[in-house]
Structure 1
């Protein structure tokens, strides 16, 4: 049976006159997946989002989106009715989608995003405006798919931490989330799959599990023999071996690895933990394709 995706593209291409913004874009997004689209400015992220949203059409290729999909969208740029209050911005957005927000639900919404209901949008700080945008994108109607374009722009540290927790709750509800952001460290614990775009091309397409990107550096002495190295290889994935260093990959805790070394009397003098982050992978991908 063919695997089902709520979004699937085949060889998408988008040209603006002579400029190719996207080429050969193949993405597959499962229901309930948290997917990241990463790239430098001008890589084609926002263009891809606009095609998915139906705001612009592709020049070539196919895009399939599940029927009856309710989409919430938060654009990169601030898009509010400045002369309306927080309450009225939310209500207008709901009405335009065919819903009406009750007083009780409105109270719940503004409490969740910690905003003053009657304050005019033009008088909000940049971070508060972003939280209002998020409320308008996610809380005015039931949402199946949430698309966020640089959601952390303008947010202070506390707002970013709030956003991270908010998105985690959305993910737990089974909402599919598609996000592009420069704040890769914020998303590490949320991402299921990611794509990296360079100059309109996908250069990386991988599942992500932050726990599987833990690496440990073992400092070994000169007495380690081939049998002992083989024992380590049988229990861990050796990423690199150079001089007196063995770099291994493992999802085990440092204590468990230390216990294994002690129990097997391995000549390891020191263990350091390092983490290969999404940002490390992103920077490496961008440099290799520049």
Structure 2
């Protein structure tokens, strides 16, 4: 993949609030990238900067070549008394598009609204239909880069499934690069190629879907009555480990019998031992907690 854009120490300051704090990362052409963070992490501010709605206080967005942007940020900006086609015609006039009728029909088909009653006003649409119409408006001129802020928020399971299929279709058949902000981590796992985790205006971590799966794979947990001596034993046996509360976390494939033998020899009581797969939500909350600790220390 080649790079679509690169953020170079982007900052956004609102009076005394630093909403986006020296953020740097790149987005590759053709990827679906998930932006994750709690409320107030700076996600929407960053998306508004990327979409050109606001300017950063400092920093640069570097581009290898010009590209068209489509965006759905916060609530869909629909004309309530217009139909789906009417809303798209309104956008087509603003964009000065040629072949309006053909492009409108293609956008409606892409989001599954081509069979909707042409006289039905958008104010009478369901939430799912409004979200799909908003995406049709964002992709009307077939942008290279699509920005979606919480596109499945409030949708029922069927609506979430439909939105997922639309997003995957836009990448596979229209070759769009897509950046999605969402709180629904389980759904992001089904569509994104890479994650960017934000906390208090900063980027905590970036990792690919493959790297996340490696982080979340099943691991071996054990606890003892003498954690410091246990830590020394693990180091002496060159067993990689992490610590979480009262547990040592080891790779699943660890040959545990030599370690248990050594624990017995050193009169260390093995309190618990079990396999466990980490959920994305737990991993994310752990990252946020670590980020909070780092923020307090700084």
TM-score range, shorter chain: 0.7 to 0.9
Correspondence for 2:68? 70
Correspondence for 1:189? 190
- State whether residues 82 and 120 of structure 1, in contact with CA within 8 Å, keep that contact through their aligned partners in structure 2: yes
Correspondence for 1:265? none
Residue 165 of structure 2 is aligned to residue 165 of structure 1: yes
Correspondence for 1:264? none
Q: How does 1:104-123 map to 2 (within 5 A)?
A: 106-115=104-113, 116=116, 117-123=118-124
For 1:120 and 1:280, the matched residues in 2 are separated by: 43
Residue 118 of structure 1 and its aligned partner are, at CA, apart by 2.6
Residues paired across the two proteins, number: 257
Structure holding more helix per residue: 2
Q: Which moved more, 1:205-214 or 1:153-162?
A: 205-214
Residue 171 of structure 1 and its aligned partner are, at CA, apart by 2.1
Structure 2 length-normalised TM: 0.74
Which segments of 5 or more consecutive residues in structure 2 lack a partner in the other structure? 223-236, 254-272, 293-298
Structure 1 length-normalised TM: 0.76
Q: How does 1:92-111 map to 2 (within 5 A)?
A: 92-100=90-98, 103=101, 106-111=104-109
For 2:214 and 2:97, the matched residues in 1 are separated by: 43
Rate the CA distance shift 1:125–1:8 in 2: closer, same or farther, 3 A. same
Measured against aligned partners, the alpha-carbon deviations of 1:107-160 in whole angstroms (never above 9, x if no partner) come to: 45434433323311111122211111011112x112211100111123211010
For 1:241 and 1:74, the matched residues in 2 are separated by: 41
For 2:28 and 2:150, the matched residues in 1 are separated by: 21
For 2:25 and 2:278, the matched residues in 1 are separated by: 27
Rate the CA distance shift 1:62–1:88 in 2: closer, same or farther, 3 A. same
- State whether residues 69 and 145 of structure 1, in contact with CA within 8 Å, keep that contact through their aligned partners in structure 2: yes
Measured against aligned partners, the alpha-carbon deviations of 1:194-232 in whole angstroms (never above 9, x if no partner) come to: 211111111112222254345235699xxxxxxxxxxxx
- State whether residues 8 and 23 of structure 2, in contact with CA within 8 Å, keep that contact through their aligned partners in structure 1: yes
Rate the CA distance shift 1:249–1:149 in 2: closer, same or farther, 3 A. farther
Correspondence for 1:134? 135
Rate the CA distance shift 1:143–1:129 in 2: closer, same or farther, 3 A. same
Rate the CA distance shift 1:218–1:201 in 2: closer, same or farther, 3 A. closer
For 2:9 and 2:156, the matched residues in 1 are separated by: 38
The residue matched to 1:6 in structure 2 has which SS?
strand
Measured against aligned partners, the alpha-carbon deviations of 1:259-288 in whole angstroms (never above 9, x if no partner) come to: xxxxxxxxxxx99673542x3332111122
Q: How does 1:142-181 map to 2 (within 5 A)?
A: 142-173=142-173, 174-181=175-182
Rate the CA distance shift 1:112–1:239 in 2: closer, same or farther, 3 A. farther
Question: Which residue, 254, 274, 278 being the options, matches 2:277?
Answer: 274
The residue matched to 2:134 in structure 1 has which SS?
helix
- State whether residues 110 and 166 of structure 2, in contact with CA within 8 Å, keep that contact through their aligned partners in structure 1: no
Correspondence for 2:232? none
Rate the CA distance shift 1:86–1:199 in 2: closer, same or farther, 3 A. same
Correspondence for 1:6? 4
- State whether residues 213 and 276 of structure 1, in contact with CA within 8 Å, keep that contact through their aligned partners in structure 2: no
For 1:61 and 1:105, the matched residues in 2 are separated by: 36
RMSD in angstroms over aligned alpha carbons? 3.4
Rate the CA distance shift 1:13–1:111 in 2: closer, same or farther, 3 A. closer
- State whether residues 238 and 249 of structure 1, in contact with CA within 8 Å, keep that contact through their aligned partners in structure 2: no
